[in-house]
Structure 1
Amino acid sequence: MNKFVFFAILGAACAPGSTISFVGNLRTDANVTGCGTSCTLDGSNTDGDYAQWAAVVDDFTVLSTSQMQAITFSYGGGINGAGDTIAESGFEPYLSLFDASGNFLASTALSGCPAGGQINSVSGQCYDVELDGGTLAPGTYQIAISAFDNLSFAENLGTGTLADGFTGLGNLASGEDLHYAFDVELTSTASTPEPSSGFLASGILAMFAWRSFRARRRN
């Protein structure tokens, strides 16, 4: 393959995707800690209390229009996008996606076991989930992880925003703890523009001119 054709093929290649890995603990990292009227979770609360009420909300940035998916690893264990080994038997996870203003976009309410999801060796179940965020425009987004079935009110009632809090319906089964791990995967839908026909033509003419010049020199 000559260099010119090789360059043309490279010019049509799509921009690479990116993976953002999140790991933590629902007790130590929770930034949603309301537990009812005049109640805030603290060190005196049990892990079960945190599973019922708490959530961790993280931001991520989309630089170009991208397909977005998020997948958890902490129930069945596995290897995340950063190459870290994730232990099994975290809480049964629930993911929710919001825009920068806290408007609800998507969740794992209808998610089954993701492709490649691991079976928990204790329960014999796959309760890790995958969130399909669809196509996201450039900007900042928020993703929340909580214990199933601690949904945001914005999703549960169909109105409101992330700031309205969560339902407090999460649970922690026997043998589960509060560690979590999930990846946000972004695949850009933008591609580098292909070389114009004029550029291609000028390149071909230049190649033939060079060959003619070399032929004249030989003669």
Structure 2
Amino acid sequence: MITVAAIDDDRMLLDGLRTWLAPVEDVRLVQVAATVDGYLDGLGGADAPRVVLLDLNLRDGSDPADNVARVRAGGGRVLVVSAVPDADGVLATIGAGAAGYLTKSHPLDVLVEAIREVASGGSAISPELAFVLSRDARADRPRLSPQERAVLTAYASGATLAAAARRAGVAYGTAREYLERVKRKYAEVGRPTRTKLELADRVREDRLDLGGPGR
């Protein structure tokens, strides 16, 4: 059973969400709140739901990226839901660690599939929003060559460096050099990658696994 919470200040939407999800056998809405504070208070020390649906713009004026970070700190994986495909919102919330971003225009079955994907440890990004991410040219994203990206994504996915080299079609020594370049480039933009886990975080934050062009 996938437990879900929803944070949205639209009471009608929350009531509708309860009704819509009720027939879905593997998804259970266990908590709703109008603010992140209300959600965190409602946990009361209990385990967080596996997936938290978070409205992009709450009426309390809270910062979307900060909201994502706070929900993640509480233990939930975040799926941002927005009324509009806001490019800045996509970039900010994914950068803060959201595992997905959907607009409210999608039908319920798309939302349910996104919840399942996020609950399983994956990400849920619609094609049009994936394009936004692939065009991200923020200064804190280093320019990686296609070869550097290939080694990074393979290695960060859990492969050994030798296996990453084979996947990228390069020699072990070359792959090691590429990986060191990647680490230097991230350090230069203030995003150090000292461990394999941090490298995996950078792949997720920058959506390098989307198959976009190297930059």
TM-score, normalization: structure 1? Answer: 0.25
Q: Higher helix proportion, which one? A: 2
Tell which structure's C-alpha radius of gyration is larger: 1
Larger RCO (alpha carbons 8 Å, 6+ apart): 1
